[in-house]
Amino acid sequence: MKPLYKYVSKIDYAHSLLAGKVFHQTLGYFRDYEDSNTEQVIGDEYESTHLYRPLNGLEVNNHTTGTSGLLGMGFESSTRAGEIYVFCVSLYMTDELKEEFGANACVEICKPRIFAQRWQHALPQNAKYFSRRVQYYERDDVPGNIWPQPKRIATSKLSKFAYQKEYRFGFTTTGALDFGECSQQLVDRKSRPLPRPDEHHNISLNLGDLSDICKLHML
């Protein structure tokens, strides 16, 4: 497995990670993330949600009348965003990502398999977890069997974010990652939904000293 990269905006964050403090935020936080400089919500509004919206509309069948037609709405399947914690890294270290994240340092996880083992060992008892690459999709891609799977929804994003080449470690202490623990709805979004601060939580896991498997890069 190739190295992973964690971009940080403050050197203290990098030293904290090297010391083994791995900080996780909920999917709900990343959905509603606000830029402190512009005071604007810039998070991915579809974080924790998988969208299916064909260009010509959703084909629907009316079993009562025996007719079918196109509906100008999107089908969304969403996880319990306030209960799934993620630690996000990238598969690449690039100037583009440095600028996007306002990073002045980057921690390279040189031995990701060992990191993953230590991370799993540090998880709360009975936690359910995943660690996998984020998959990128177009909004008109047929979702197949993704819609009832929280793990897959938590690691899927629209293709406009593909340049981030993201990898995620995620877990929950509830049943939020169980098969079928998703809600589905037909939505015609006209604007970004209002933030939900009640879904913004964080947890730090202590993995112990990581200096033997990580390297600090000043940017």
Task: Report the distance separating Cα 33 and Cα 68, nearest Å.
Answer: 40
Burial of 137 (0-12, 13-18, 19+ CB in 10 A): middle
Distance from the first to the final alpha carbon of the chain:
24
Query: 12 in a domain, yes or no?
Result: yes
Q: Which residue has the tokens 């830029």?
A: 35
Beta bridge partners of 21: 206
Query: 63 in a domain, yes or no?
Result: no
Percent of the chain, pLDDT > 90?
79
Q: And the tokens for 108?
A: 């390279």
**Reported pTM:** 0.92
Identify whether the C-beta of residue 133 lies closer than 8 Å to the C-beta of residue 161: no
In this prediction, residue 40 carries a pLDDT of 52
* 3-state secondary structure (DSSP) of residue 55: coil
Task: Report the distance separating Cα 20 and Cα 129, nearest Å.
Answer: 19
Phi-psi region of 153 (alpha: psi -120 to 50; beta: other; left: phi over 0): alpha
Query: 212 in a domain, yes or no?
Result: yes
Task: Report the distance separating Cα 14 and Cα 107, nearest Å.
Answer: 6
Task: Categorize the per-residue pLDDT at 68 as very low, low, confident or very high, splitting at 50, 70 and 90.
Answer: confident
Task: Report the distance separating Cα 216 and Cα 212, nearest Å.
Answer: 11
In this prediction, residue 192 carries a pLDDT of 87
- The number of domains in the chain is 1
Query: 175 in a domain, yes or no?
Result: yes
Report whether pLDDT(39) > 70: no
Query: 61 in a domain, yes or no?
Result: no
Query: 62 in a domain, yes or no?
Result: no
For 17, which DSSP code?
Answer: H
Query: 60 in a domain, yes or no?
Result: no
Query: 73 in a domain, yes or no?
Result: yes
Residue 90: give the domain boundaries: 4-55+68-218
In this prediction, residue 38 carries a pLDDT of 43
Average pLDDT score, the chain? 92
In this prediction, residue 55 carries a pLDDT of 86
